[in-house]
């Protein structure tokens, strides 16, 4: 890696979930906890896969402005109960989930080492699609908030990735101006993180630990399998 004095970027924008924070693990454990609390038993793995399909679809619709955040939060559990023919209160499941999720926080491998290495050398900012209160609690509980200069959450910004406006909003909050050519966005989702960077005409790094095939027309500037490999790019 080149010395920090010759880094090619002046600002790093990170996605949060499944880029720095292991959301898949957090979600899995939280889901098991709330089902048990609400007396729902059965094939938990199958239930969770069903929920994830419903949840991902609703978040995609939210990113497109088709549904509201408040609708999404409850509808995903209402639909989950309906599809799996389960008895339960979707509002109670939603409240339990939003309470439980912030307490179950895990880091992606080498996240801490990466941020410790970069901290003080380059501004580190998070742009995340999510629910403000939940995301801020999760960041605080993760132990990495000390390294992050700013976190922008879609609910609070009023825009979601890949909308260019959430990137513009984020840059407007920073104390110093940065040239677009010196900004790098790092994230695991092509359709939100990488497309959002492309829409904003900034470089992007696709974090692809599962070595997924890019079958879209969305082209990242870089691709890495391990988050620590970012040090070889910047």
**pLDDT value at position 2?**
44
- For the ranges 107-116, 136-145, 170-179, 201-210, which has the lowest average pLDDT? 170-179
Residues 68 and 173 occupy one common structural domain? no
pLDDT for residue 16 is more than 70 = yes
Residues 51 and 16 occupy one common structural domain? no
**pLDDT value at position 145?**
96
Residues 52 and 15 occupy one common structural domain? no
Residues 164-179 pLDDT 10s? 999 999 999 997 788 9
Q: Of the residues 103, 135, 164, which one is the last residue of a structural domain?
A: 103
Tokens of 193: 């993180």
Residues 115 and 41 occupy one common structural domain? no
Q: Of the residues 103, 129, 151, which one is the last residue of a structural domain?
A: 103
Residues 14 and 31 occupy one common structural domain? no
**pLDDT value at position 177?**
83
Domain of 206, in residue numbers: 4-21+106-232
User: Which of 4-8, 56-60, 100-104 reaches the highest mean pLDDT?
Assistant: 100-104
Residues 35 and 120 occupy one common structural domain? no
Residues 90 and 125 occupy one common structural domain? no
Residues 115 and 78 occupy one common structural domain? no
pLDDT for residue 204 is more than 60 = yes
Domain count for the chain = 2
**pLDDT value at position 4?**
61
**pLDDT value at position 69?**
85
């Amino acid at each position: 890696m080149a010395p920090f004095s010759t880094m090619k970027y002046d600002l790093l924008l990170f996605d949060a979930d499944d880029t720095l924070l292991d959301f898949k693990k957090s979600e899995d454990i939280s889901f098991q906890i709330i089902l048990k609390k609400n007396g729902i038993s059965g094939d938990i793995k199958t239930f969770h896969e069903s929920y994830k399909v419903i949840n991902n679809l609703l978040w995609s619709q939210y990113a497109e402005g088709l549904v509201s955040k408040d609708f999404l939060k409850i509808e995903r559990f209402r639909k989950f109960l309906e599809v799996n023919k389960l008895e339960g209160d979707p509002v109670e499941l939603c409240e339990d989930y939003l309470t439980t999720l912030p307490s179950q926080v895990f880091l992606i491998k080498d996240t801490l080492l990466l941020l410790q290495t970069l901290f003080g050398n380059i501004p580190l900012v998070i742009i995340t699609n999510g629910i403000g209160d939940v995301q801020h609690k999760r960041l605080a509980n993760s132990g990495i908030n000390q390294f992050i200069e700013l976190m922008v959450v879609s609910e609070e910004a009023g825009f979601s990735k890949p909308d260019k406006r959430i990137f513009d909003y984020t840059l407007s909050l920073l104390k110093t101006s940065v040239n677009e050519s010196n900004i790098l966005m790092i994230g695991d989702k092509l359709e939100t993180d990488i497309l959002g960077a492309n829409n904003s005409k900034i470089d992007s790094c696709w974090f692809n630990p599962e070595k997924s095939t890019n079958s879209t027309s969305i082209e990242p500037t870089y691709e890495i399998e391990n988050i620590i490999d970012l040090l070889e790019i910047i």
